[in-house]
Amino acid sequence: MTDQSSSDNSAWLVLSASGLTPARQLALVRALGDAEAVLGADDGALLAVEGIRAQHVSRLRQAQAKVDPAPLAQKLADLGGHILPITDEAYPRLLREIHDPPPVLYVSGSLSRRDELAVAVVGTRRRSDYGQRVTERITGDLARRGFTIVSGLALGIDSDAHEAALEAGGRTVAVTACGLDVDYPQQNRELRGRITQSGAVVTELSLGTEPLRERFPARNRIIAGLSLGVVVVEAPTESGALITARLAAEEGREVFAVPGSIFSPVSRGCHALIRDGVTLVEVAEDVVEGLGILLEATPEREPAPERERKLAELPGDQRQVLGALSHEPLSVDAVIARLELTAAQVTGALMLLEVKGLVRRLPGSAYVRID
């Protein structure tokens, strides 16, 4: 972040807390230059801006009279946050290019020029185990290639994407539909803290703003705007993830979709996207190629040394059991039927493979291989 004078910060905090929509704030800033110029303009100059009416000017004047920016600035500092106005050279370039960028971002953590190589990964809150595994695989590989992973900090696919990026040692950015001081969703409090250490949590909304339903579509445009492309993993036909995909396409960003089961309602939105011509994604390389980025610029994933060691040290029975498994769930009985091992050998091997993090046990005593 570049240095902003305290008066500049104060003006942005007042404008942001005025109750005017971000679109109207942006119109005023674009017409008059910056937040300080907006607050210093007379009523006539404000009313001359397209879309600004008397009630909007009145709301702005009320904010100037009632909003004290000093405690807001102190609270923001206590949260470890800062503001990033659209006039700041550190404001994300990709986001500035959309037709309605946020006039100001509230940031906890840090944004970096590295984040211009960003991909959004989004999907349903009610994701399946398949959706979680696909998200972890594709997102982890993208993060290891140097991509920043952008998502919405929601439960489900969003959380899986953030977690996978962090696990891979990469950067991730979470975009929220509430103020930085609002702990939403509460289940992701710990995850939120880790994200600020390896990326940022950002919002366009002033402190104290609650996450109302109508604020999420606007949040989704920021997710799309920060990214070169959007990967939809699982999404019902009525889904916020599909809104993000549509907004990305409208801004000329690439859209990708992961196919799922024809019997799964959470995959129907992805299948609709694929029918409409978006790129089908199975592995991270599909995203890289779809973005038109040279593979040489993003090195191939190398298996983690620890995993290689585990595989090399596997006893024969565990190696056979692991070889019989795939990414599709397989029951214990089915594994036994495929191998010339006793039931006790198979169940014992599965237990040890799970402890080593090489397989995952699903409800119903089914197992999948983890790569």
pLDDT at 358: 84
Residue 200's DSSP bridge partners are: 109, 173
SS3 114: helix
Query: What is the per-residue burial (b if ≥16 Cβ within 10 Å, else e) of 167-183?
Result: ebebbbbbbbbbbbbbe
Q: What are the distances in angstroms from CA 325 to CA 98, 329, 336, 342?
A: 45, 8, 11, 16
> If you search the block for the tokens 């979470």, which residue do you land on?
174
Task: Report domain extents, the chain.
Answer: 6-109, 113-297, 305-369
Cα(162)–Cα(155) distance, integer angstroms = 10
Return the pLDDT at 3. Answer: 45
Give the DSSP H/E element, type plus range, for residue 324: helix 316-324
| Token code pair at residue 246 | 């549509």
189 vs 113: CA distance, rounded Å: 26
Each of the 371 residues of the chain gets a pLDDT tens digit; together they read 444 445 578 999 999 999 999 999 999 999 999 999 999 999 999 999 999 999 999 999 999 999 999 999 999 999 999 999 999 999 999 999 999 999 999 999 999 988 999 999 999 999 999 999 999 999 999 999 889 999 999 999 999 999 999 999 999 999 999 999 999 999 999 999 999 999 999 999 999 999 998 999 999 999 999 999 999 999 998 889 999 999 999 999 999 999 999 999 999 999 999 999 999 999 999 999 898 864 444 444 445 566 677 788 889 899 999 989 876 778 899 999 999 899 889 988 898 888 887 888 876 778 888 76
What letter does residue 150 receive in the DSSP assignment?
E
- Cα 149 to chain centroid distance, Å, stands at 6
Calculate ∠ Cα 153-155-158, nearest 5°.
50
Cβ neighbours of residue 353 under 8 Å, at least 6 residues apart?
A: 318, 321, 322, 359
| pLDDT for 353 | 87
CATH fold label, 305-369: Arc Repressor Mutant, subunit A (1.10.10)
Map residue 166 onto helix, strand or coil: helix
The helix (H) or strand (E) run that includes residue 230 is strand 229-232
Residue 284 confidence (pLDDT): 92
CATH, domain range 113-297:
3.40.50.450
| H-run or E-run covering 311 | helix 305-312
pLDDT of residue 125: 94
What element of type H or E holds 271? helix 268-275
The residues with which 122 forms a beta bridge, in sequence order, are 232
pTM of structure: 0.79
Q: Residue 202: helix, strand or coil by DSSP?
A: strand
